[in-house]
Amino acid sequence: MIDTLELLSALDGGLISVVMLRDAGVSSRWLERLVATGVLTRVRRGAFVLTSVWRTMWPNERYRLFVRATVASSPRALVVSHLSAAVMHGLPLVGEWPQTLHVLDAGAGGGASSRLMTSHRSVPESDTVLIDGVRVTALARTLADIAIAETLERSVPALDAGLHSARVAANTVARLRGVPWGSEEMAALAQLAEHGLREQLSEELELLAPRRWRLRAERAIGFANGLADGAGESLSRVRFVELGFEIPELQVRFDGADGRDAFVDCFWRGVRKGGEFDGNHKYMRGVILKPGQDPGEIVFAEKRREDALRTQLNSMARWVWDEVLPARTFFRFLTEHDVPRAQVRAQMPRRTPSRPSVPASAISLRPATPLQPVPESGPAKAAGAR
């Protein structure tokens, strides 16, 4: 039986429907026994996953399974939106995970909910993309919806990640076309890609939100920064503003002793202080190991980077989720580590930064921004977090 279940699990990305089980000869009574004994975990009614697989999943992976299962069981076509679309796009969520599937519905009065679904008005219609067989709102619409509906703690990390992905995509295209890594031309292309997504967000806001509802969204989009490298760093930036601390420069480059560049996440130039958020993956810093490479080499390289930074900084502060999530705890941390207070209370900008100037040599290399699955105009006729 286990071999059969493992085969079924491999057929649809871990998701096992009750129809698949019945076709494999599993009776209703036997299915209940598999759940009761912990062999299968119920994702929702009619959808299951091997418990051994479920236990290895991160929250975002579990929620994606819930989204896929709920969409697959719906008698009508759905367009997934808001927080649910954000998860499908791979955007980070800070705080509690949604308990329902967010969808667009032209007839919804705004935020109408059932036990498993939260419906939002789909006016105007949204461009959509297909991700893992699920129809979701396109990236710009998803980010705009989140900026309108969610708190800054929720929206800024997602916006930062979206803008960051646009920069990464531009850098990748530039590298394929021979643009030197770290050159001014590459930096200009990344900035142009980020601005292109910002323009799309502004256009979405004009269509989605009356002016009186737009203030928080404009502030979130104006404050978002594609240089931020992860949700923890993004939340830290929100906290700096909320708690009255100086907003640092991001991803500042220093010369390493071995001739390689060393970057620091946050830099308070006036006091030459560095700061970094330490997630669980920090020491790997997104590096993919080469065949035969020892992870210890990566840790050693990280130590050399830190050593190089410490010779050029007056001090360095590091913090983790347990410190940045509770605002009061982070306030104490920043105060104890002498992070400079803002001379004037920082205000999040209301307008999108102006279009960046780009070298003429870079214009011909401008990629489509942001790079994402090929969109299809309009939703389906029926409505629809490591």
Report residue 356 CA to chain centroid gap. 24
In a domain, 299, yes or no: yes
In a domain, 41, yes or no: yes
DSSP state of 211: G
In a domain, 242, yes or no: no
Strands of the 40-44 sheet, one edge to the other: 16-17, 47-50, 40-44
Q: How far from 47 is each of 17, 41, 62, 115, 303, CA to CA, in Å?
A: 5, 9, 12, 16, 46
Confidence band of 386 (pLDDT split at 50, 70, 90):
very low
Give the pLDDT of residue 289: 41
Q: Could you tell me if 366 and 192 are in contact, meaning their C-beta atoms sit under 8 angstroms apart?
A: yes
Confidence band of 102 (pLDDT split at 50, 70, 90):
very high
CA distance 317 to 15: 43
Report residue 148 CA to chain centroid gap. 16
Give the pLDDT of residue 330: 98
Higher pLDDT pick, 297 / 234: 234
Higher pLDDT pick, 233 / 253: 233
Report residue 51 CA to chain centroid gap. 26
Of 169, 177, 82, 153, give the one whose Cα is nearest residue 120: 82
Tell me the residue length of the chain: 386
Give the pLDDT of residue 310: 75
Least confident of 82-91, 102-111, 180-189: 102-111
Q: Could you tell me if 136 and 152 are in contact, meaning their C-beta atoms sit under 8 angstroms apart?
A: no
Of 105, 62, 61, give the one whose Cα is nearest residue 82: 105
pLDDT cut 70: percent of the chain above it: 78
Q: Could you tell me if 122 and 330 are in contact, meaning their C-beta atoms sit under 8 angstroms apart?
A: no
In a domain, 271, yes or no: yes
pLDDT in tens, 108-134: 555 556 788 998 877 667 799 999 999
In a domain, 21, yes or no: yes
Q: Could you tell me if 98 and 154 are in contact, meaning their C-beta atoms sit under 8 angstroms apart?
A: no
Mean pLDDT within 319-346: 93
In a domain, 143, yes or no: no
Q: How many domains does the chain have?
A: 2
Residue position matching structure tokens 């010369």: 255
Q: Could you tell me if 314 and 273 are in contact, meaning their C-beta atoms sit under 8 angstroms apart?
A: yes
Half-sphere exposure of 267 (CA within 13 A, CB side): 17
Mean pLDDT within 237-256: 92
| pTM confidence score | 0.81
Residue position matching structure tokens 């998860």: 87
Higher pLDDT pick, 361 / 192: 192
**Helix or strand or coil: residue 79?**
coil
Q: Of 56, 87, 102, which residue is a domain's last? A: 56
Which stretch of DSSP H or E encloses residue 288? none
In a domain, 96, yes or no: no
- Residue 297 sits in which domain range? 248-336
Q: Indicate if the alpha-carbon torsion angle 366, 372, 374, 379 is positive or negative.
A: negative
pLDDT in tens, 18-62: 999 999 999 999 999 999 999 999 999 999 999 999 999 999 999
In the chain, the amino acid numbered 52 is: S
In a domain, 36, yes or no: yes
Of 243, 246, 299, give the one whose Cα is nearest residue 275: 246
Give the pLDDT of residue 280: 52
Check pLDDT > 50 for residue 367.
Answer: no
Torsion of CA 362, 363, 365, 369, to 10 degrees: 110
* CATH code of the domain covering residue 14: 1.10.10
Check pLDDT > 70 for residue 305.
Answer: no
